[in-house]
């Protein structure tokens, strides 16, 4: 019997790839000309800032993990954080892929799954805050600096509303205990009804660990400013990687233009609920940059180039790391 919960994300990814292929085929001559004129000397900059953003995100998780009682030496926890963040970047589906792998990889250090989940959820929440906080700025920047058709006004407005709704729900889950318990109770009922599993104790443990972590963050005055600096640096590094993608294709565009477009494209990818936002992030980003005067084909290729360097290439390296990790586990058994 087919597992619908596993099948739907796969169907979404296939549809997204078909959508990307359709765009390529439709304008293949334009794409070929742009690729032929690409300046490859900017590629090392794209690699540097892409890896910098991933590294900063992993550093953020290392500090968050300490709040939730995960006491592992930096050189052991950091590679796990890097690997699982890379997986989540490419296969993001509510954090499920990366979080599951993180639980598996930290099991050998006797770290409880509830602590891994709570710390991962809190870390993801911090990045939700970041991207949501930048949406109003990005919209104001675009609305004030560029002329938009009514349809695009509405699309950007609904993207902002949807992202803000996600931010509000996640904030309530994190910081309002009765609301969090209500959501966890509902999740427990759904799982028991459809999967026949009673996970009440696990959800109660998760609730306890989240409360512990939030109290620890509140008692550490330097923690939130430090995480804020790391998050800003992470987004800045991602934006610079994207900027050099445009640069390599001969596009003259401002740093604020790239940053605003990246925020809105990433938000659209998150809202789509398609793993990694594949297709949606590229197409919506291309539309935003088209407003800024960048030809759609060039903006679309820049977005794809960013995905290759920021998502796919690190994932290929991460797979090699994971296979080596599994081999080491088997050798140690």
Residue 22 belongs to some domain of the structure: no
CA distance 135 to 150: 19
The answer, yes or no, to whether residue 8 has pLDDT greater than 90, is no
Mean pLDDT along residues 194-220: 81
80 vs 283: which has the higher pLDDT: 80
Residue 78 belongs to some domain of the structure: yes
Taking alpha carbons only, the member of 245, 274, 242 closest to residue 258 is 242
Residue 19 belongs to some domain of the structure: no
pLDDT interval class at 19 (50, 70, 90):
low
Mean pLDDT along residues 75-83: 90
State how many domains the chain has: 1
Structural domain span for residue 78? 42-332
Place of tokens 């028991």: 192
The answer, yes or no, to whether residue 130 has pLDDT greater than 80, is no
- Other Cβ atoms less than 10 A from the Cβ of 147: the count is 7
Phi, psi of 40 (to 5 degrees): -75, -10
Residues 47-72 pLDDT 10s: 999 999 999 999 999 999 988 889 89
Contact 45, 244 (CB under 8 A): yes
CA distance 200 to 204: 6
Mean pLDDT along residues 220-249: 90
The answer, yes or no, to whether residue 321 has pLDDT greater than 50, is yes
Give the model's pLDDT for residue 57.
93
The answer, yes or no, to whether residue 5 has pLDDT greater than 50, is no
pLDDT interval class at 1 (50, 70, 90):
very low
Residue 34 belongs to some domain of the structure: no
pTM over 0.85: no
Cα angle vertex 178, ends 185, 95, to 5°?
Answer: 60
DSSP-assigned states of every residue in 57-73? HHHHHHHHHHHTT----
Residue 26 belongs to some domain of the structure: no
SS3 at position 197:
coil
The answer, yes or no, to whether residue 2 has pLDDT greater than 70, is no
How much is the mean pLDDT over the chain? 79
Residues 131-166 pLDDT 10s: 777 887 888 888 788 877 777 777 777 767 776 777
The answer, yes or no, to whether residue 13 has pLDDT greater than 60, is no
Residue 17 belongs to some domain of the structure: no
CA 310 to chain centre: 11
SS3 at position 37:
coil
Residue 7 belongs to some domain of the structure: no
SS3 at position 252:
coil
């Amino acid at each position: 019997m087919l597992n619908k919960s596993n099948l739907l994300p796969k169907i979404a990814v296939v549809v997204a790839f078909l959508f990307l292929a359709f765009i390529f085929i439709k304008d293949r001559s334009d794409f070929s000309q742009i690729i032929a004129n690409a300046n490859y000397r900017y590629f090392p900059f794209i690699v540097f800032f892409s890896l910098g953003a991933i590294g900063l995100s992993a550093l953020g998780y290392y500090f968050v993990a300490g709040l939730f009682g995960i006491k592992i030496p930096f050189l052991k926890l950091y590679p796990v954080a890097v690997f699982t963040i890379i997986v989540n970047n490419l296969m993001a589906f509510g954090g499920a892929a990366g979080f599951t792998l993180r639980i598996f990889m930290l099991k050998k250090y006797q770290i409880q799954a509830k602590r891994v989940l709570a710390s991962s959820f809190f870390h993801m929440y911090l990045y939700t805050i970041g991207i949501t906080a930048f949406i109003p700025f990005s919209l104001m920047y675009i609305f004030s600096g560029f002329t938009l058709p009514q349809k695009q006004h509405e699309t950007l407005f609904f993207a902002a509303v949807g992202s803000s709704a996600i931010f509000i729900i996640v904030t309530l889950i994190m910081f309002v205990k009765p609301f969090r318990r209500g959501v966890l109770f509902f999740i427990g009922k759904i799982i028991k009804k459809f999967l026949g599993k009673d996970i009440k104790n696990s959800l109660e443990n998760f609730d306890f660990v989240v409360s512990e972590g939030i109290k620890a963050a509140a008692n550490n005055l330097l923690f939130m400013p430090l995480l804020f600096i790391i998050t800003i640096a992470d987004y800045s590094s991602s934006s610079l990687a994207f900027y050099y993608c445009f640069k390599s294709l001969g596009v003259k565009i401002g740093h604020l233009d790239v940053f605003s477009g990246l925020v809105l494209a990433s938000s659209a990818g998150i809202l789509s609920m398609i793993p990694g936002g594949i297709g949606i992030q590229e197409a919506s980003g291309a539309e935003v940059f088209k407003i800024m005067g960048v030809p759609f084909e060039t903006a679309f290729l820049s977005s794809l180039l960013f995905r290759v360097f920021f998502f796919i290439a690190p994932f290929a390296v991460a797979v090699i790391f994971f296979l080596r990790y599994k081999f080491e586990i088997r050798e140690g058994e």
